[in-house]
Amino acid sequence: MTAGFVKSWPDAPPRFFAVEAAGLRWLAVPGGVPVAEPLDVSPTQLTTTMLQTTPPTDALAEDFGRRLAVTHDAGARHYGVPPDRWNGDGYIGTIALPHAAEPMTSWGEFYANLRLRPYLRAAGVHLDVFERLCGRLEAGVYDDVSDGPSRIHGDLWSGNVLWTAAGVHLIDPAAHGGHRETDLAMLGLFGLPKLERVLRAYDEVHPLADGWRDRIRLHQLHPLLVHVVLFGGGYLAQATALAKKF
């Protein structure tokens, strides 16, 4: 019998582990980044394949970048769509992550209404700078009509990237249809080893749109607001400063 890694939470909210398992299965596309395979799921725990980590190397980083582009290019039906065969919302960390049951008109509309405003409300934040930014997002200022919804991990900080001898594997997704730059922004927010090698290899497979490095800060607003909700106002000043740049 295959040994597994067990995550448990006796007081987990409804379908917490089920949506994580659905996200892992959805992200497991041919040629993409491997994931920790779900072996068993219950309301209070998730068992995945056991992975042995190894120090990052240049070769692993480049392979990860190329494979991440393939994962993203697998696409999604629309922005905010949940993983296949999943209905309802998901989670990011331990809090709710809204999904869009029906297509939205643009990435900007999705980002403003399902990734910024819900977390501003949850944190009790009412600042004009955020509402002005949401208006610009809804107006399409930051949309890229040359690219469609990507199949993204959604919570791709360095702690959810496991370096193994067999290649990088992904864990703990908040998977949904989103913007490829969102995952890249998360990799940079809390520091991924050998990130520049990852990004160069990614760009070889799927060239990134002009100005993507400037937009990274825009995509980092959502995880920062998640941190405001989870941990308090210490992250609010950082999020506000970023919002002012857009």
Tell me the average pLDDT across 111-134: 96
Tell me the average pLDDT across 221-229: 97
**In this structure, are residues 198 and 68 in contact, taking their beta carbons and an 8 Å threshold?**
yes
Report the run of H or E that residue 244 belongs to, with start and end.
helix 236-244
Give the 3-state secondary structure of residue 12.
coil
Question: Which band of pLDDT confidence, cut at 50, 70 and 90, is reported for residue 234?
Answer: confident
Distance CA 126, CA 8 (A): 36
The residue that leads in pLDDT, 190 or 128, is 128
The tokens describing 16, both together, are 């917490």
pTM score: 0.96
- Residue with token string 């296949």: 84
Tell me the average pLDDT across 71-94: 97
Tell me the average pLDDT across 83-97: 96
Give the contacts of 21 (CB within 8 A, at least 6 positions apart): 38, 41, 46
The tokens describing 190, both together, are 């809390």
Helix segments in 175-220, DSSP class H: 180-189, 195-205, 212-219
Cα–Cα–Cα angle for 28, 151, 23, rounded to 5 degrees: 50
Residues of the chain by 3-state class (helix, strand, coil), percent to 5: 45, 15, 40
pLDDT of residue 108 exceeding 50: yes
pLDDT of residue 70 exceeding 70: yes
pLDDT of residue 145 exceeding 90: no
CATH 3.40.50.980 fits 52-244, yes or no: no
Give the 3-state secondary structure of residue 72.
helix
Question: Which band of pLDDT confidence, cut at 50, 70 and 90, is reported for residue 1?
Answer: very low
Long-range contacts of 113-117 (CB under 8 A, 24+ apart): 113/138, 114/80, 115/221, 115/222, 116/221, 116/222, 116/225
Long-range contacts of 15-20 (CB under 8 A, 24+ apart): 15/43, 15/88, 16/43, 16/91, 17/41, 17/42, 17/43, 17/44, 17/45, 17/46, 18/43, 19/82, 19/83, 19/86, 19/88, 19/90, 19/91, 20/46, 20/91, 20/172, 20/173
Tell me the average pLDDT across 184-211: 96
Distance CA 208, CA 215 (A): 11
Question: Which band of pLDDT confidence, cut at 50, 70 and 90, is reported for residue 233?
Answer: confident
Distance CA 58, CA 166 (A): 14
